Amino acid sequence: MNTTNHHARNDTPILRCDDLPVGQLATLVQHYGLQLINVDKTDNIPGSYWGETEAGLIENRLYVRTDTPVHSALHEACHYVCMTHARRQQLNTDAGGDYDEENGVCYLQIVLSEQLASMGRQRMFSDMDRWGYSFRLGSSQAWFERDADDARQWLHEAGLIDSQLMPTWKLRQ
């Protein structure tokens, strides 16, 4: 998985945080002990690795603006979930992690998209592809459905999804 091109590829709008029902994203991330912090649209987003409109992470705070893409907010939230306790304690902007963890993050953000009424998997696939996530099978959906066995196994072994591929609402230790 490669996330080097962080801009939308076409004119179709990517779902933004202000497109979600009020409080829905905050409720979702609270399951993991994350506090959603809404930043004024004119301010830079603290802890944003990519800058611009992309979500930021500092300790247990997830920073977003109304124009932050939902996929970005879920991706950063999933980094928090998937990293070790020791890394969470020192988290500031760069979530780090290895290849397997990054794949777990991408898989989990797709799973969690089902918890958001306006999102769901199909919209997440579309938004990830438009943003520039790249997978060797050509799309996030193809990867998720046919090439993500290692990500599923990693998440299951870490206790982050159950045998039905549902979130356990636990953090990686």
The secondary structure of 1-59 as a DSSP string is -B----S-SSSSPPPBGGGSPTTHHHHHHHTTTPEEEEPPTTS--TTBSS-TT--EEET
- pLDDT tens, residue order, the chain (173 aa): 433 334 444 566 899 999 999 999 999 999 999 999 999 999 999 999 999 999 999 999 999 999 999 999 999 999 999 999 999 999 999 999 999 999 999 999 999 999 998 899 999 999 999 998 878 888 999 999 999 999 999 999 999 999 999 999 999 99
* In-domain check, residue 103: yes
Q: Is residue 4 part of a domain?
A: no
Beta bridge partners of 16: 69
Please state whether the predicted TM-score (pTM) of the whole model is above 0.75. Answer: yes
User: Domain containing 100: what range?
Assistant: 17-157
User: Has residue 58 been placed in a domain?
Assistant: yes
Angle (CA) 116 119 121, round 5°: 105
Whether residue 12 lies inside any domain: the answer is: no
Evaluate whether residue 165 is within a structural domain. Answer: no
Q: Is residue 53 part of a domain?
A: yes
Residue with tokens 């609402």: 169
The total number of structural domains that make up the chain: 1
